[in-house]
Structure 1
Amino acid sequence: MTFFEENLAFLLSQGFEEQILNQPLENSTVRLFTGKMGYYTAVKQVEDHDILLHSAYDPLNEASRLLAVEDISSYLSIFVFGLGLGYHLLELIEQTSQDCLIFVLESDWDIVRAAMHVIDFREILKTGRVVLAFGTPSDVRVILDGLFVNGEIQLKLHKMGFLYFAPKYRHDITVVQEIRRIIIEVFQYHILAKGNDISWSIKGLTNLSEHIPYLARSPYLRQIADTWHKPVVIVLAGPSLNKNIAVLKEWQDRVTIFCVNTVFNKLLDYGIVPDATFTLDRAPVIAEKHYKRDDHIPESVVLVGNPVIDPRSVNLFKHNMFIFGGGEFYQSELARDMGYGLLPVGLSVTHFAFMFALYIGAPAILLVGQDLAYGSEGRTHSSGSVYDEIKVDLDKENDVVYLEGYYGGEVPSSLSWKLFRDWYEIYLERFPSLLINCTEGGAKIKGTLQLPLKEALEQYVGTDSLKKDSFVDWLYSVKQDIKYEEMLDKIRMSFEKRIEKLQICELVFARASRVYHNIEDPEILLKFKKRYLDQMDKEARNIMSDQWIFSAFKPEYIRVMVEYNGLDTGVYNADVDLETVIISKAKLLQDMFCNIGLLSEKLRKILEDTVSKLNEKIGSSGSGKNSDKKVSR
């Protein structure tokens, strides 16, 4: 097998089959030849002329000179625009630390195929710190989206650098700029959109513990998968909703209607009773402003929520259904321990409703009121919804961005709404689905079909359609086989595992904190202080390798470690005292250990109290098994 064939077989095994085999090598726009010193070089045909990709004399020395103009020593992640024949990549691997992650970005498959004759991709990937992101900008976005969710990668992205292979930059500048924009957007999507409030872990776990009686009666994901083969309309509170609300009322008896919490009361006030309402928020304001009414909520409405939502919302509804997804990783571990399953919920409650509708088998999903843009006079929501009085002065708003509009042109939006739109586009690019945007206003969402609501209903529901089925009846049909006490016991055992993890975490951090006093001691030699700091660093990274621990303490850990890694630049500065840097880094870790230790104690107390209650309930109760009655606390 030739070197090229070995690379070909390897890249095919990595999922690049369609791209690599898309064009025969004989028709390549890249021509290889041997340079004066025996190294391969190449020319790339661009329109009617050839471009030399590497030095025809010494491409290795050329690669070294490319890196010499960049300060690469402080980066934890480097994005390389352009593969060429890989000489600069090999040099970059040699010159960067083992902690540095290298992303190789190349959109030209002719160049990739040429490089397959020169460098060993298998050996490059064996380093464990090179990511190959080959393909169109859209392909690259999908690859990065799958990687940036990782906590350790997120940490490295806070110190990122960009390296441009000159021929790529000069002759493919549009693609380079597009991919760079995508990198920043996907970074924002995964870092900024996930929240930074460490107290959310406490509030979320408190609420989840309150919901255990309901949670133990909620159906597994596998019980609801592909069981509702009817179109679904998802109603949002965007400014454009008003133009379609009359059509929605006319069709409400024939089509399943889901809505988000912000528009729930508006629909009821207009005489539209949704089949289900969705919420993710753990804030008390949701119950008070979004769901509380003078009259009773119709019993035909199902509240579908994440287990961490505020209990006051749950108590307002007769029928509740909890779906694990997103949020802190303890939901993932609990879902696994219960054998329940985890549903991706995206970045917003709208994404949650969409993913739920898709999962239960809706053949067509229609969005109404999903503007993701400001309306007239800077309005953020439709009239009659919770926030209908809010108006934004676009001239004074700092985070206004302009997006492609539903009808073309550009519309004013916000960074948050842009992230929400990007989530749709990334998901639909990876998993094409029939999502119909019937908003008739706001921002365009690529990957959706745009139709007026009435036309979409006539086409996908049908003018002669019968009265829709009861969503409540569906809910009880899919959860008939649930064994309530067995679920309670699984939850108890899962919580006991979390308690043990927190106890270990607290012991580790207490031990690491004691090491800090040795670093502070002026009598301790510098070389020993460095060893003690390495020990503290290792303890922190080891304990954070547990996904649940990392998820629970992520905001504090990333905040500290970004500052901690930033101090490394002082190591290379002759004017900075190394001992000062070591003590400063140790103090950051010490403070983090203390803060996380206090939070750990609070989380453990919640879990221990819940386990105690579950022990009493499981030991004393035989009643309540498979009961369909509303659970009282």
Structure 2
Amino acid sequence: MSLFDKNMAALEISYPKVYEKINELLADGYECTGVSTEAAKNGEPVLIYEKDGKSYRLNSRYNPKAEAKKWLEQFKFDNLAMVIQLFGIGNATFLRELVDTINTETGIIAYEPSLDIFMHVIANYDITDIIENKRIQLIIDGLNETYFIVALSGNVEWLNLYCQVYCKHPHFEQLFEEQHETYMHIIRDNNDQAVMNRNTILKLGPLSIENELVLLKDLMKTNNVCDFIGKIPEDIPAIIVSAGPSLDKNYELLREAKGKSIIICVDRALNKLLSNGIIPDFTITLDARALLSNYKNDRSNDIPLMIDISGNPTIYEMNRSRKFLYNNDGFLKAIYKQLGKDYYNLTAGGCVATAAFSACVTMEMKTIIFIGQDLAFEGNKTHTDSEESEEFNAASLIEVDGVNGGKVMTRYDMYSYLQWFESAITNMGGAVRCIDATEGGALIRGTEVMTFREAIDECCQKEFDCTQLIHDMPYSFEGMDIENFKEYMQFCSKQLKEFKTKAGEGAKKAKTLIHQGMDHRGPNQKGVKLIKDIGKIYETLEENVLYEMLDIYAAKDSLEELNDVYIMRGQEDSEKEVYEKTIKVYEAFVKACDTLEPKFKTLCDALN
């Protein structure tokens, strides 16, 4: 078997889409150019790359492995929960040295900016060990570069944001300047999103959990958006109505689309539609503190409601129509599993419009049309004329491509949603047709741009009675014994007490560790045992069905401490500081349990 066939066999198993893409390129006549290999003085292979008539050695001409060892000395790998970013894979000499140096739990996201280099390498080197290594995620420009955003968001969050290590293969930044600029831009965007997620948890985390416990009392009389799977014809489009300023241009055309589409109106645009006599099929709300003023028109309470499980319970209770849950968290997932229902994961994306998009994808809608989705300023306005204009700091604005050509100004939060849409659309690989009929604002790459009139004429041609579909749809848990739900909630109440006991035990052991388990050299024999015990306690907490809920609830009191626990500064006295912060984390868990205990009791009482 040739080296190429051997590497391709490994790719077929570990990276099937990359494998398919390579075969497509070869079938289209692709030929690798500008890359070669020669031997170093010690016989090891040296990769040669040609650019602008010049040849560049990407490894030492004398001893490539020794060069890689020396290169690694500039980096520090002493944090917990590290994520290593490597720009440039080359012939994998540097990557292998990296793998051999770091601990076995550290993940590596390795980005190769040159398709030609990668194709040359899989034809001339055995890199099956790299391909098959589960710790490494390979991103190859021209093959699966769109997955880079997914890899980042799945591995880098606020907790380990400052535990990233950025490594660059020698010469790659200079040879691939444009790709490196894009690469760093994506990393910065993901870092900013992680900070936004952290701030959201700090601001709304406890409230979102409290809201969830209120909404759960009516779980047996709700539906999930996944209940629509297979029930809506593929030629019926979804129309997501957002509250951007361009909505004023075309909202009247919704009258023609009614009954020939599924119209989902975000909460902020609802008053605009209702005041003009347009009734959407659904309204959707996301935030734990969603404004009640969005539902000031009483007719809104007769429209089916899509709501996050942690959404504003007052809006939920005001609504007289059917309720459809989405964005199920880990706790609700466990409930669904316990009650024997399928669970579909949905990523809300940070704003109500992205949540609507995710709901449509979960419902398996094949065509999604956007209107009012500006994601940019029109003058000094970010929302339709029925809304107040928002103040903004000119220094915080970002210039992006406009859907009608030229440039438009946006704000960072809107820009992050734009990035989210583009990533989500790309990752669907064309499975869903996305049409931007906003007629203004920022260009959303991956969408088809047309007027709303054109979208209606092309896509809204068949009658469909959404109201009847909802009327005939049973509740998600209809016919199921509510006693199972009651028993599970009682079980969760016991889990809460066990969590509190274990967290208290962890705090106590951490205190003992500081006072009795350490000397000037660090942990003594007793301390080593206590450290293991503390680690086992945390593992037990993570296995508790309420861990995710309590982790979010405790974040306000423990977020900074958790972050510091993961960042080991390498100072002799830092260990004691870390264990002191560990105490605060466990105490924050105990405090969260104390707060939620009566709320669980209220929920259980309401079910009896």
**Could you say which TM-score interval applies, normalised by the shorter chain?**
0.7 to 0.9
Amino acid at match of 1:446: R
Deviation per CA, 1:305-361: give whole Å up to 9, x if none: 1232222212332212222315x4212222333314235133221122223334435
Q: Distance in 1 between matches of 2:48 and 2:545?
A: 47
Q: Give distance in 1, aligned partners of 2:102 and 2:116.
A: 28
Tell me the residue number matched to 2:162: 158
Is residue 214–residue 322 contact of structure 1 (8 Å, CA) maintained in 2?
no
In structure 1, what is the equivalent of residue 173 of structure 2?
169
Q: 1:86 to 1:222 in 2, by over 3 A?
A: same
**Residues 1:480 and 1:124: Cα distance change in structure 2 (over 3 Å):** closer
**Worse overlay, 543-552 or 6-15:** 543-552
Among candidates 475, 479, 482, match of residue 474 of structure 2:
479
Counterpart secondary structure, 2:326: coil
Residue pair 1:325, 1:332 contacting (<8 A) in 2 also: no
Taking the aligned partners of 1:511 and 1:316, their CA distance within structure 2 comes to 43
| 1:434 CA displacement | 1.5
SS at match of 2:398: strand
5+ unaligned residues in a row in structure 2: which ranges? none
Distance 1:540 1:307, change over 3 A: same
CA contact (8 A) 2:149 2:423 kept: no
User: What residue number does 2:534 align with?
Assistant: 536
- Equivalent residue, structure 1, for 2:324: 322
Of the structure 1 ranges 340-349 and 518-527, higher mean CA displacement relative to structure 2 is found in 518-527
Aligned residue for 1:341? 343
**Where do residues 429-468 of structure 1 align in structure 2 (5 Å cutoff)?**
429-431=426-428, 432=430, 433-462=432-461
Taking the aligned partners of 1:481 and 1:417, their CA distance within structure 2 comes to 34
The counterpart of 2:60, out of the listed 52, 55, 61, is 55
The aligned residue for residue 216 of structure 1 is: 220
Q: Which residue among 133, 137, 159 is the counterpart of 1:131?
A: 137
* Corresponding position of 1:379: 381
CA distance in 1, matches of 2:283, 2:488: 29
CA contact (8 A) 2:241 2:263 kept: yes
Helix, strand or coil at the partner of 1:440: coil
Instruction: Look up the match of 1:417.
Output: 414
Report the AA paired with residue 309 of structure 2. Answer: P
Supply the distance in 2 between the matched residues of 1:201 and 1:594 (Cα, whole angstroms).
17
Classify the secondary structure of the residue corresponding to 2:11.
Answer: helix
User: Equivalent residue of 2:138, what SS?
Assistant: strand
Counterpart for residue 83 of structure 1: 89
Inter-partner Cα distance in structure 1 for 2:576 and 2:600:
36
Query: 1:228-239 to 2 correspondence within 5 Å?
Result: 228-229=232-233, 230-239=236-245
| Contact 2:301 2:321 (C-alpha < 8 Å) held by counterparts | no
> What does residue range 296-335 of structure 1 map to in structure 2 within 5 Å?
296-297=299-300, 299=302, 301-326=303-328, 328-335=329-336
Q: Deviations over 1:120-178 (max 9, x none)?
A: 64544676533222234x93342441563358x76334221221112322211111111
User: How many Å separate the matches in 2 of 1:160 and 1:184?
Assistant: 12
Which residue number in structure 1 is paired with residue 246 of structure 2? 240
Which of 589, 596, 604 is 1:596 aligned to? Answer: 589
- Code of the aligned partner of 1:132: L
CA contact (8 A) 2:110 2:136 kept: yes
State yes or no: 1:275 paired with 2:274: no
**Conserved in 1, the CA contact under 8 Å of 2:78 and 2:570?**
no
Q: Do the aligned residues in 2 keep the contact of 1:257 with 1:275 (CA within 8 Å)?
A: yes
Specify the code of the residue in structure 2 equivalent to 1:420.
Y
TM-score (norm 1): 0.84
Q: Where does 1:192-207 land on structure 2 (aligned, <5 Å)?
A: 192-193=196-197, 195-197=199-201, 200-207=204-211
1:594 CA drift (Å): 0.6
Aligned partner of 1:624 in structure 2 is none
Does residue 527 (structure 1) correspond to residue 527 (structure 2)? The answer is no
1:114-129 matches, cutoff 5 A: 114-116=120-122, 121-124=127-130, 128-129=134-135
Distance 1:548-1:130 versus aligned 2 partners, 3 A rule: farther
Distance 2:210 2:388 in 1: 33
Compared with structure 1, are the counterparts of its residues 125 and 607 closer, same or farther at alpha carbon in structure 2 (3 Å cutoff)? farther
Which residue does the alignment assign to 2:493? 499
CA RMSD of aligned residues (A): 3.1
- Identity among equivalent positions (%) equals 19
Distance 1:70 1:521, change over 3 A: closer
Moved more, 191-200 or 412-421: 191-200
The corresponding residue for 1:225 is 229
Provide the residue aligned with 1:516 in structure 2.
510
Match of 1:563 in 2: 564
The DSSP-based 3-state class of the residue aligned with 1:569 is: coil
Relative distance call for 1:38 and 1:361 in structure 2 (3 A) is: closer
Q: Which residue of 2 aligns with 1:67?
A: 72
Contact residue 518 and residue 524 of structure 1 kept, 8 A: no
Query: C-alpha offsets along residues 160-205 of structure 1, whole Å, 9 cap, x if unaligned?
Result: 1221112322211111111121122234335523654357454334
Report the AA paired with residue 415 of structure 1.
Answer: Y
Question: Any conservation in 1 of the 2:238–2:367 contact (CA below 8 Å)?
Answer: yes
- 1:172 & 1:597 partners in 2: Cα distance? 51
SS at match of 1:140: coil
> Across the two proteins, how many residue pairs are aligned to each other?
589
> How far apart are the structure 2 equivalents of 1:248 and 1:481?
30
The 10-residue stretch of structure 1 (239-248 or 420-429) with the greater mean CA deviation from structure 2: 239-248
CA 1:563 to 1:452, structure 2 compared with 1: closer, same or farther past 3 Å?
Answer: same
Separation in 1 of the partners of 2:538 and 2:221? 38
Contact 2:158 2:197 in 1 (8 A): no
1:605 and 1:3, CA in 2 relative to 1: closer, same or farther beyond 3 A? farther
Given that 2:511 and 2:580 are in contact with CA atoms closer than 8 Å, whether structure 1 keeps it comes out as no
TM-score, normalisation: structure 2: 0.87
Distance 1:541 1:482 in 2: 33
Query: SS state of the match for residue 148, structure 1?
Result: helix
Q: CA deviation at 1:250?
A: 5.4
3-state SS, counterpart of residue 365 of structure 1: strand
